[in-house]
Amino acid sequence: MPHLPRFTAAAVQTAPVYLDADATVDKAAALIAEAAAHGAELVVFPEVFVPGYPYWNWTMNPVQGSPWFERLYLASVDVPGPHVELLCAAARRAGVVLVIGVNERGGPGLGTLYNTLLTIGPDGRLLGVHRKLVPTWAEKLTWAPGDGSSLVVHRTPIGPLGALACGENTNPLARFTLLAQGELVHAASYIALPVAPDDYDMAEAVALRAAAHCFEGKVFTVVSCSTISPEIVDLVAGEDQRVRKQLARPRAALSGVFGPDGRPVTEPLVDEEGIVYAEIDLARCLQPKQMHDIVGHYNRFDVFRLHVDTDPHRPVHLHEGHRPDGFRPDGFRPDGLRPDGLRPDGHRPPASRPHPEQESGTHHQEEA
């Protein structure tokens, strides 16, 4: 018998405490507790909620925006790290499954940021760290691309859960990868985008993407979008009236819950701050799949094949090996000296001792 839970989901629509990770995590913890008090078992927050979205990429040229990149980098979070621990603790106290976006500092060097979604279980365990596969348009000035290692559906008490960030929800291959792993609950995290082209209605675009994924996959989608606070406007726009007007553009944000028929389960929230609550019954996903199960009977896997590279991408692969004679692969001894006991520059090291094999040979001669 399949496990098809029935539960309350909460989609949070709010602004971060801009570029302040400590205060934003505190705000998130308070909202998690509030949502749990209203019966929520799944709480979804916006994209890069901690500590905010780099709107200057859209309103400044790269040179002007560079100091802001530095400011964002210094305000971002490490995964794992103390801010993640606080979020895990908040989820554990509330007993909720949590999806929240963060700006993640990538290692091992300086200067790389990722647009990352954290999935945390009700026991406070970090289940998933998904780095956005492709930053969208101007976002490439801030974030590096992720890899396929984090395209994972997590088995949680509220059902099989997957998550994608903003524009990833337009990528049919990324969405299919999650659906093919049995996803029934999808978290879609967005940012308010008043800086889009004039003919682009962000609220409509978000609703359209959520409806498409739900209808195609016969799943539920919980959409969480951020808002633009006066603080963000003041910091990013300053006295530039053109940018201030741009950031005040309406229909820049939409949050809500959509069902397997592609329709909103409850009325979505547009632009205003708040939390949208909706009841999700995963049993509703079953009957529609008799018509279209695109990861099962309604597909042709003898015709179509999708291969996903799930290996994590690293800047360097260091392979350590040893030759049978005990020397390193480069021909030097394990202590870094040449086979003749000299340093690579040809000089004898201070207080050098013979190679162990040479010592062994000397002893054998004396014994003989």
Active site residues: 47, 132, 166
**Tokens at 175, concatenated:** 């969405």
CB-based contact 146:131 (threshold 8 Å): yes
Is 120 in contact with 90 (CB distance < 8 Å)? Answer: no
Q: How far is CA 73 from CA 48, 80, 109, 137, 144, in A?
A: 12, 16, 12, 19, 13
**HSE, side-chain direction, 13 A CA sphere, residue 197:** 4
DSSP H helices in the chain:
21-37, 56-59, 62-75, 82-94, 172-179, 202-217, 230-237, 241-247, 286-291, 356-367
Helix/strand/coil for 273:
coil
β-bridge mates for residue 222, sequence order: 187, 257
Dist CA 199 CA 212 (whole Å): 21
| Amino acid making up residue 92 | R
Nearest to 18 by CA among 230, 189, 195, 270: 230
First-to-last C-alpha distance (Å) of the chain: 78
For 360, the token pair is: 């062994």
Burial 302-327 (b: 16+ CB within 10 A, else e): eeeeeeeeeeeeeeeeeeeeeeeeee
Sign of the four-CA dihedral 226, 71, 144, 88: negative
